[in-house]
Structure 1
Amino acid sequence: MLVLLLVVAGGLAYLVSSIGSDVPRIPDAFRGLETTERPAASGGTTFLLVGTDSRAREPTTGSGANPDAVPGSQRSDAIMLGTLAPDGHSASVVSIPRDSWVEVPGRGMNKINAAYAFGGAPLLIGTVEQLTGVRVDHFGVVDFAGFTSLVDSVGGIDVTVARATGNDGVDFVQGENHLDGAQALAYVRQRYDLPGGDLDRAARQQNAMKALLEKVQEKATTDPGALYAFATSVGDAVSIDDSLSNTGLVQLAVGNRNLRGSDVTFVTAPVAGLGREGAQSVVYVDERHGEELWDAVRNGSVRQFADLNPALTLGDVPS
C-alpha cells in the first residue's frame, strides 16, 4: 500500500480511488486502544505494515482471501513502520525484527510477532506503540501469497546479493539477481546462512520493498498498462484498516505525488544483541539507541538519524 501511494498519485489519483474500492478493509483494527493512552499524533502519517507468516495455499489477505481465514491467526513475519512526512517530500521505513523480545500488553514478555497471533491488529498496534511511542495511524497486512503476486504483477524485482547463498530451493548468485514472486519470497524469508540472521532478513525485506518501488516507478513512466496491472493487484493481495477511506487514500497519494525511491530512508531498529528465552531465539532491543530512533520518527528526522548510524541503514548490497 505504501508503494502504491508513492507511485500512483497526482494525475492518477482517480486510479487510487478506484483501486481503493477493491482493497478489503479490516474492521476494528484499533479496537480497545484508548485515545488518551496512545502516543500523541505526529505531523506525518504512519502505517504499521505487516507481512504474515502464513503457509496456507489459499490467500489470507486481500480480496481473494479464503472466507474462513481469520485475521491475526498467524504470527507476523515482517513488521515495518512506514511514515510519510507531512510536507510530502520524504518518507521512512523502519523494520522491527520479528523476534524482538518486548512487553506485549496483557501477555507479559514475548516475541513481538506473537502479538498478532494473540490479539490480531489491535494487540500488535498496541505493542508497537508501547515500544516506540509512535502513533500508528493506519494498518496494512499482506500474506506470502499476496507478496508473491505483487512481485509477479510487475514482472519480478532486481536485487543485489553480497555473496552466493540459497533458501527454500532457490539459489542466489553474488551480484544482481532477477527474482519472480516465489524467488522473492524465498529471498525475504531467509535468515539461516546469513551472518546477521533475523537482522539480515529484515534488511532483505526492506531491499525487496525498495526494489518493488523502483520497478513500479519504472513502469509508471514506460508502461502505464503494467502500472494499472500492479495497482489492481494490490486489492487482490493487501488488506488495510477500515479507518482509511478511498478519499483518504487519494489525499495521501496527491500529497505525496513527488516522492521517489531516493526520498525513502530505510532503517532497522537498533538491537542490543541476540539470545534465548527458554527454547526461543530472541532479539534484545537497544532501548537507549532505540529511543533516539523513535524520536527521529516522531519529529521527521530519520534521514539525519540514518546518516549518524550507517550500520542501521539499508546499504546498497545487504547480505
Structure 2
Amino acid sequence: MSDRAPGDEPPAGGPDQSDCTTTEGVEPAPRRVRRTLISLGVLGLVAALVIGGGLWLISNRYGSNVDRVGDVFAALEDDARPAAASPVDQPETAADPVTFLLVGSDTRAEIAPGELPDARSDAIMLARFTGDRERVQVVSIPRDSWVDVPGHGRNKVNAAYALGGPTLLVQTIEQLTGVRIDHYAAIDFAGLIQVTDDLGGVDVEVSETTSNGPYTFTAGLNHLNGDQARWYVGQRYDLPGGDFDRVKRQQNYLRAMFTKLFSQEVFTSPGKLDATLLAVTDAVAVDDALGNGDLLSLAYSLRDLTPADVAFFTAPVLGTGTEGAASVVYLDQTTGERMWGYLRTDSLGQNAEEFTDEALQDVPR
C-alpha cells in the first residue's frame, strides 16, 4: 500500500523507474507532489454542453465560464502541418471530423511573457470526433514516450510542453501521428474532482483489489467520490503495468464520468445540472479559436452521441528503457502508423480488432 499523494510517483512504465524528465537547456523542475490530471476536457465539456444546450441558448452562463488559451496555433506554418482530415466512406452531408488535443498539466508557477512554462503535461490524449458525429476515438499517448521534439531533438513527449508550451506540444504530436489537430483543451484536475462530487460520485469496475493512500479499491464495482477518484487515477505502484495501468484508469474514470453525465439523474435535477455545468466548464480551457458559438455548434452536432459510441486506446508501445537518467517509453512505430492512419481516415473504430492490446478493456486493473 502506498502513502504517496496521487501522482507523486515516477512517471515511468514500470513501478521502479525514475522521475527525470530531460529538457535540454532547461533545468528539471523541483520535485513536488503532482496532481494526476485527467483529460476529460472536451468529452466532459461536450457532454455537459449537450445536456445544457437549451440553457446556453438563453444565456452565456456556461460558455463564458470556459477559459481561453491564446495563440496555440498562430506560430504553426500551415504548409508544414499534416493535411486536413480525409475520412473514407463519409456521406457528402457529413461535417468535417474534429480532432482535439487534450492535456492535463501541472503548472508550477505563473509564466512571465517570453518565459518557458515550468510545467509538465501529465495526461496527453487525442480525441477524434468523426465526421458523421456518431463515434469518438480517444487515444492516450504515454507522457514518457521517447519522440522527436521539433527543434530540440529526442526527448520525452511531455518535455515538449515544458520547452514550448501548447504550441510545441501540438507540433510534436502532429509530427508523431500525422494527425492534424484542430483544437486544444487544457484541464484542471481540482475542478474535475468537484465535478465528481457534484455528480454524487461515479462508479468504476476494478479487476483486482488494490490500495493507494487512505483507500482500498476492491475487485468489482466501486463508487468513488472526488477524493477517492483522485487516488484511484493516481495509483501506479502495486499495478503490474505501472504507468500504463494508470493510463487505463484515467480512461476508465473518464468513461465512468461520461456515463454519469448522461444519466437520467443529472437530467432531472436542475440544481445538480447547473452545479455540474459550472464545475465542468470552470475546469476547462480551450484554444481561443474556439468561440462560444463554435462550442455550442459542436455540442449540438454531438447531441445523439452516447458513452457506448466512445472508444479508448493507448498508443502502441514496444517497451520501456532509459535514456541518460530518464526512464522512457518506446513507441511501436509500425503498429502506431497503422493506428494513426486509421485515425486520420475516421476508420479506427472499424478496425479496432487490430488493437486489442491497446484498447481499454471492460474492467481494467
TM-score by length of 1: 0.91
Note the alpha carbon deviations across 1:158-197, whole angstroms, 9 max, x for none.
Answer: 1111111122333211111111222212211222211111
- Does structure 1 residue 49 correspond to structure 2 residue 115? no
Q: 1:24 aligns with which of 55, 67, 70?
A: 67
Alignment of structure 1 residues 82-231 onto 2, 5 Å: 82-218=127-263, 219-231=265-277
- Does structure 1 residue 288 correspond to structure 2 residue 329? no
Once residues 89 and 143 of structure 1 are traced to their aligned partners in structure 2, the CA distance between those partners, rounded to angstroms, is 27
> Which protein has the bigger helix share?
1
Once residues 160 and 48 of structure 1 are traced to their aligned partners in structure 2, the CA distance between those partners, rounded to angstroms, is 27
Alignment of structure 1 residues 264-275 onto 2, 5 Å: 264-275=310-321
| Secondary structure, aligned partner of 1:5 | helix
Higher Rg: 2
Once residues 34 and 13 of structure 1 are traced to their aligned partners in structure 2, the CA distance between those partners, rounded to angstroms, is 38
1:5 match: 46
Output the amino acid matched with 1:21: S
Output the amino acid matched with 2:238: D
Q: Report how far residue 310 of structure 1 moved.
A: 1.4
- Does structure 1 residue 303 correspond to structure 2 residue 341? no
| Secondary structure, aligned partner of 2:124 | strand
CA contact (8 A) 2:102 2:125 kept: yes
| Secondary structure, aligned partner of 2:62 | helix
1:250 match: 296
- Does structure 1 residue 35 correspond to structure 2 residue 78? yes
Structure 2 spans left out of the alignment, 5+ residues = 1-41, 86-95
Q: Report how far residue 306 of structure 1 moved.
A: 1.9
CA contact (8 A) 1:47 1:140 kept: yes
Q: Report how far residue 68 of structure 1 moved.
A: 8.6
Output the amino acid matched with 2:97: G
Percent sequence identity is: 48
Output the amino acid matched with 1:15: W
1:63 match: none
Change in CA separation of 1:141 and 1:71 when aligned onto 2, cut-off 3 Å: farther
Q: Which shifted more, 139-148 or 95-104?
A: 139-148
Once residues 352 and 125 of structure 2 are traced to their aligned partners in structure 1, the CA distance between those partners, rounded to angstroms, is 16
Q: Report how far residue 2 of structure 1 moved.
A: 2.0
Once residues 318 and 122 of structure 1 are traced to their aligned partners in structure 2, the CA distance between those partners, rounded to angstroms, is 33
Change in CA separation of 1:11 and 1:227 when aligned onto 2, cut-off 3 Å: closer
Q: 2:124 aligns with which of 68, 73, 79?
A: 79
Q: Which shifted more, 299-308 or 197-206?
A: 299-308
Q: Report how far residue 36 of structure 1 moved.
A: 0.8
CA contact (8 A) 1:265 1:302 kept: no
Once residues 52 and 246 of structure 2 are traced to their aligned partners in structure 1, the CA distance between those partners, rounded to angstroms, is 36
Q: Which shifted more, 287-296 or 148-157?
A: 148-157
TM-score by length of 2: 0.80
**How many residues are paired up?**
310
CA contact (8 A) 2:68 2:286 kept: yes
CA contact (8 A) 2:51 2:262 kept: no
CA contact (8 A) 1:72 1:121 kept: no
Over the aligned positions, Cα root-mean-square deviation in angstroms equals 2.2
Once residues 232 and 145 of structure 2 are traced to their aligned partners in structure 1, the CA distance between those partners, rounded to angstroms, is 21
| Secondary structure, aligned partner of 1:251 | helix
CA contact (8 A) 2:321 2:329 kept: yes
Once residues 124 and 279 of structure 1 are traced to their aligned partners in structure 2, the CA distance between those partners, rounded to angstroms, is 22
